[in-house]
Structure 1
Amino acid sequence: MNGPLAPRVLGRRVPLPLVAWLALVWVTLWGDASVGNVLGGLAVGLVTVWLLPLPALDPGVRLRPAALAAFLLWFAWDLVGSTARVVWWVARPGDPPSELVRVPLRTSSESMTVLIMIALATVPGSVVVEAYLAERELLLHVLGRRRDAAAATLAEVAGLESRIVAAFGTRADRQELG
C-alpha cells in the first residue's frame, strides 16, 4: 500500500487503515470511547505497525467484471441443474450411480485451484475427495451420472477452470491456460 494511506514514518511505511483498525480494537477492548482511549489506541496501533511491518502479499487474484458475471450466471445454472439431478436420484428407489474421477488441472496457481475446489464442493453431486497439487489433479466423487461420468466430469471441470481463471486469474494464469 502506497500513497496518502501509507505515509512513511522514520523510513517505514505505516498503513493508516490498519492503524485505525487497531485503534478501534483497542477502544473496544477498553470498553470506553474516551479521548484518552482513542489517542492511546492510535499510539499503540502506530507503534505496533511500525515495529511489526506486514509483508506485501499478492493473493494472486484479479477481478474481471464481465468474466465474473459470466461465471456467476453459469454457476447459478449449474447449481440448479445439479440440484435437480441429485434430487431426482435421491427420490428414486435404489442407490444412485456414483464414481470417483481423477481430473487433471491445467492451472498451476494455488489460488485458482482453491477457487475451483470451492466451486466444485458447492455444487450438489460433486465433492473434492483429494487434491494432488504436485500432479495438478483433483480426485472427485461424482453422484448421479449414469453414462460416461468420467468424460462428462472432465469436460465440466475444464470449463469451470477456464471460467474461474478468466474471472479471477492473473495475466500469467490466463496465459497458462492458453
Structure 2
Amino acid sequence: MNVAPRVFGRRVPLPLVAWLTWVWVTLWGEASAGNVLGGLAAALVVTWLLPLPIIDPGFRVRPVPLVRFLVCFGWDLVVSTVRVVVWTVRPGVVPTQIVRVRLRTSSESMTVMIMIALSTVPGSLVVEAYAERRELVLHVLGLPGDASETVRAEVAGLESRIVAAFGTRRDLEEVL
C-alpha cells in the first residue's frame, strides 16, 4: 500500500494530508462537508507545494525481538532493584565500580537507546560516552568483587537485544 502517491509528479503523504485536514476541521469547530472538503483541499495544496524531506529515524521496530527486549529489561529492573535494596539496607560499604565497556554498534541512535536503558536500571549509570571509540564508562553499584567482565557481558547482551529490536540492517550486521 502506497501512503504517498504522486500528484502532478510530487509525492503527497496521505497520513499528513489526513492530519492536516483534521486540524483544519478542528480549528473551524464543525465537521461539515464544506469544512472537510476545504481542509482536504488546503492539506493537498500545502503538502504538494511544500514537500517535506524524507527522514530516516535510524531505527526500525521488530515486534518479536522487542518483546524479548522488554521481558529481559523488566527482569533486569527487578533483579537490580532487589540488589540495590539489599546492599543499601545491609550495614557496611556498598561495593561500587567504574567499568569501561566497548560497544559493537556505531549507530548513534542505538548507542543512545543503550545509554537510556543502562541509566534506567537501578545500580548503573552512564558516566561518560566516547562515540569515536564506541565506549561507555559506567558506574555500577552492588556487585561484589571485580565485576568488570560480568558488567561487560550484561551490556553486550543488552546491546544485542536493543539492536535486534530496533536496529537497521547495518546495525544488525555490526552486532549480531
Structure 1 residues 47-126: aligned runs within 5 Å: 47-126=45-124
- For residues 94 and 40 of structure 1, what CA distance do their matches in structure 2 show? 71
The alignment status of 1:150 with 2:148, answered yes or no, reads: yes
| Per-residue deviation, residues 86-130 of structure 1 (Å, max 9, x unmatched) | 111222245523233222111001221122122112211112233
Gaps of 5+ in 2: none
Q: Which residue in the other structure is 1:174 paired with? A: 172
State the TM-score, normalized to the length of structure 2.
Answer: 0.87
The alignment status of 1:26 with 2:43, answered yes or no, reads: no
Gaps of 5+ in 1: none
Q: Which residue in the other structure is 1:12 paired with? A: 10
| Per-residue deviation, residues 68-99 of structure 1 (Å, max 9, x unmatched) | 33322222221111110111122224552323
- For residues 38 and 140 of structure 1, what CA distance do their matches in structure 2 show? 54
| Per-residue deviation, residues 30-79 of structure 1 (Å, max 9, x unmatched) | 33323333222222211221122122222232333333333222222211
> SS in structure 2 opposite 1:174?
helix
Identity of aligned residues (%): 69
For 2:128, give the aligned amino acid. E
Q: Which residue in the other structure is 2:163 paired with? A: 165
| Per-residue deviation, residues 109-159 of structure 1 (Å, max 9, x unmatched) | 122112212211221111223322122112222121221132221111111
| Per-residue deviation, residues 11-47 of structure 1 (Å, max 9, x unmatched) | 1010111101011122223333233332222222112
For 2:53, give the aligned amino acid. P
> SS in structure 2 opposite 1:61?
coil
- For residues 152 and 133 of structure 1, what CA distance do their matches in structure 2 show? 22
